[in-house]
Amino acid sequence: MAKVVLENIWKRYGDVEVVKDFNFTVHDKELVVLVGPSGCGKSTTLRMIAGLEEISEGNIYIGDRRVNDVAPKDRDIAMVFQAYALYPHWSVYENMAFALKLRKTPKEEVKSRVLNAAKILEIDHLLDRKPKALSGGQRQRVAMGRAIVRDPSVFLFDEPLSNLDAKLRVQMRVEISKLHNRLQTTIVYVTHDQVEAMTLADRIVIMNDGRIQQAGTPLDVYERPANLFVATFIGSPSMNVLKGEYDGDNLVVGGTPIEPTSEQKSRMGSYRGAITLGVRPQHVSVAEGGRNTVQARVEVVEHLGSEKFVYLKIGEQPLTARLESQDHASEGQEQFFAFDMDQAHIFDAEGQNLLLDDTEVTK
């Protein structure tokens, strides 16, 4: 078992910087998820750990060994990709045994390792089948089985579930969690799906444009987002963001003054000027009017049974509220809404969270 250390890692293709000064340690037995929008450098980072991509600058350690110049096959890692490419003419058993046979592992050992992995993945009844006779989820398990039989120090997963339908994804997500608990091994997992990231990770690394935006436990990045990018990326439905001004007393949003809490005032200190107020949909509620409420036009109401999503406009700024099903909101009307300011976030003109100091942001 092993930790993975990425130290000042840069990746450049000519003039294009794809990964910028990536610093992070994945602890032994930890499941770390790299998440971020398409093109932000997740796969490149994973491939550099695997040795499939050269690094332009920096150091990578697996365990205590610097692996910059170590060939992929000697890094003691196993990688599972989105396109899992099983050999179609081979049985599940042969697909899983292949890497071990290549290594000239004794036949009996191959057998016991494949059986063991198949049991863990609950595909031991499918060992004689060909891939085309398997469901998508079963094929994905075989791909994982291929990695497990190699008993690596570190597993690398690159969007392994993105070919599966929504229901199967949820099921496989749970399976991967269980697998992690059972194998007690270090996993680096890439996805662009923030729900997958939140549910699987011990810690999440949120990337944008080649840089780490924030790293921390799921709860930590949800409750204490370092900046607007993280705030709006993490959480579903997304956090509302409203542009406004802070004059030292009030946050003026859409012409309406909203008073921050005294804690927030003291956190903002001498900052004045442009702000962005961040409020999650569940922290918007129906109000009667008066102080600290905003007037908004109800555009669309979506009934989901136990709750409803209400899409509003404050002037030209959109706002989503997640309300109880019995709360009143009717399409086309102007109504008052209040924000739970204790739960609100306030960002400066650069999008940095004004309510956190550097020591409170996990990196």
Burial class (CB in 10 A: 0-12, 13-18, 19+), 230: buried
Q: Which is nearer to ligand ATP, 41 or 152 (CB)?
A: 41
Q: Which is nearer to Mg ion, 212 or 344 (CB)?
A: 212
Indicate whether 44 belongs to the interface with Mg ion (CB under 5 A): no
Terminal-to-terminal C-alpha distance of the chain: 24
Indicate whether 38 belongs to the interface with ligand ATP (CB under 6 A): yes
Contact positions with Mg ion (CB under 5 A) in 254-293:
none
40 binds, among ligand ATP, Mg ion, none (CB under 5 to 8 A by kind): ligand ATP
Q: Please, which contacts does 215-218 make with residues 24 or more away whose CB atoms are closer than 8 Å?
A: 215/24, 215/362, 215/363, 216/362, 217/362
Q: Could you tell me which stretch among 2-10, 35-43, 102-110, 164-172 binds ligand ATP (CB under 6 A)? A: 35-43
Shortest approach of Mg ion to residue 253 CB, angstroms?
A: 37
Indicate whether 18 belongs to the interface with ligand ATP (CB under 6 A): yes
Indicate whether 273 belongs to the interface with ligand ATP (CB under 6 A): no
Shortest approach of Mg ion to residue 159 CB, angstroms?
A: 6
38 binds, among Mg ion, ligand ATP, none (CB under 5 to 8 A by kind): ligand ATP
CB 298 within 8 A of CB 335: yes
Shortest approach of ligand ATP to residue 18 CB, angstroms?
A: 4
Shortest approach of ligand ATP to residue 53 CB, angstroms?
A: 8
Shortest approach of ligand ATP to residue 258 CB, angstroms?
A: 37
Select from 42, 141, 146, 173 the one that contacts ligand ATP (CB under 6 A).
42
Select from 4, 6, 41, 228 the one that contacts ligand ATP (CB under 6 A).
41
Select from 6, 33, 44, 279 the one that contacts ligand ATP (CB under 6 A).
44
Select from 13, 71, 132, 326 the one that contacts ligand ATP (CB under 6 A).
13
Indicate whether 213 belongs to the interface with ligand ATP (CB under 6 A): no
Shortest approach of Mg ion to residue 44 CB, angstroms?
A: 8
CB 100 within 8 A of CB 111: no
Shortest approach of ligand ATP to residue 158 CB, angstroms?
A: 7
Select from 31, 40, 78, 187 the one that contacts ligand ATP (CB under 6 A).
40
- Mapping DSSP onto H, E and C, the string for 11-48 reads EEECCEEEEEEEEEEECCCCEEEEECCCCCCHHHHHHH
CB 293 within 8 A of CB 338: yes
Indicate whether 43 belongs to the interface with Mg ion (CB under 5 A): yes
Contact positions with ligand ATP (CB under 6 A) in 189-208:
192
Read out DSSP for 125-138? GGTTS-GGGS-HHH
Strands (E), the chain: 4-13, 16-26, 31-35, 57-62, 65-66, 77-80, 154-158, 186-191, 203-208, 211-216, 240-246, 251-253, 256-258, 273-279, 284-287, 293-303, 307-314, 317-324, 334-339, 345-347
CB 206 within 8 A of CB 215: yes
Q: Which is nearer to ligand ATP, 42 or 173 (CB)?
A: 42
Indicate whether 80 belongs to the interface with ligand ATP (CB under 6 A): no
- In angstroms, the Cα distances linking 342 to 156, 280, 345 are 39, 11, 9
Between 166-183 and 107-120, two packed helices, what is the crossing angle to 10 degrees? Answer: 120
Residue 225 neighbours by CB distance under 10 Å:
27
List residues near ligand ATP by CB under 6 A.
13, 16, 18, 36, 38-44, 192
Residues that bind Mg ion (CB under 5 A): 43
